[in-house]
């Protein structure tokens, strides 16, 4: 039998697990990235970090697509969709975006101040703080799952949440588009988030589509893991 401590919130999600790192996370390095600087990876990314993104505080239009962009199938993404690195005939997000990093709290929580009271959870080494009731800044997971091919799902946050504090985990997202040519139709791989901030009730749509010639393609099997988190700070 193994021993340890697990703390769950009212939704049943693990907030602290003394034998795992994943549940103990916080948002760091929140950065407003302009249209000309929407690059990837974002600054200060370390191994194990997840990359977060959301629309700018003053977005353009009624919705903003959030995803990494590929310029070819054989190269890794170097920017976000809608940046100035996109070809001019593609979508241009001149308002920019806000990015952040989801980091583990393990080893990143300061020691308690002299005379401070509260609950601290240490790892088995006796020195690494996994959780602090007074100094932790954990995130709230709003939605997560895996979208199968040719599908989409909407998430509508409760009105009690501030829409501009919701972030999408973008590491598995991608938009790769090819314009039509003399001998082929336009083609796009679309695994992305769409923040509908202009809707009467704002919502976020997660999509896993392939489009060719204005029609959805159905004979593919790629999956899109998605996650939405809320900055509780």
Convert the pLDDT of each residue in 146-185 to its tens digit: 999 999 999 999 999 999 999 999 999 999 988 877 666 7
Give per-residue pLDDT as tens, 81-106. 999 988 777 889 999 999 999 988 77
**Who contacts 149 (Cβ-Cβ below 8 Å, separation ≥6)?**
208, 210, 218, 220, 221, 222, 223
Domain residues of the chain, as ranges? 59-95+143-230
Tally Cβ neighbours within 10 Å of residue 46: 11
Read off the pLDDT of residues 23-36 as tens digits, 9 standing for 90 and up.
567 888 899 999 99
> Quick check: 21 pLDDT over 60?
no
Give the pTM. 0.83
- Distance between CA 187 and CA 167 in Å, rounded? 28
CB contact at 8 A, 25 and 102: yes
């Amino acid at each position: 039998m193994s021993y340890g401590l697990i703390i769950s919130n009212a939704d049943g999600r693990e907030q602290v697990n003394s034998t795992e790192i994943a549940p103990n996370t916080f948002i760091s390095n929140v950065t407003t990235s302009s249209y000309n600087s929407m690059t990837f990876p974002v600054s200060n990314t370390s191994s194990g970090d997840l990359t977060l993104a959301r629309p700018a505080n003053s977005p353009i239009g009624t919705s903003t697509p959030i995803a990494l962009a590929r310029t070819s199938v054989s190269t890794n993404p170097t920017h976000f969709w809608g940046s100035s690195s996109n070809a001019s005939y593609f979508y241009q997000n001149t308002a920019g975006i806000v990015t952040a990093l989801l980091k583990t709290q393990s080893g990143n929580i300061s020691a308690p101040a002299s005379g401070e009271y509260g609950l601290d959870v240490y790892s088995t080494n006796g020195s690494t703080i996994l959780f602090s009731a007074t100094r932790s800044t954990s995130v709230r997971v709003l939605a997560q799952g895996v979208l199968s091919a040719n599908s989409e799902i909407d998430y509508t946050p409760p009105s009690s949440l501030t829409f501009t504090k919701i972030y999408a985990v973008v590491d598995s997202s991608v938009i790769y588009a090819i314009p039509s040519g003399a001998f082929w139709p336009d083609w796009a791989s679309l695994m992305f988030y769409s923040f509908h901030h202009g809707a009467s009730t704002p919502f976020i749509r997660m999509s896993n589509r392939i489009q060719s010639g204005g029609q959805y393609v159905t004979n593919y099997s790629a999956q899109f893991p998605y996650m939405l988190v809320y900055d509780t700070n």
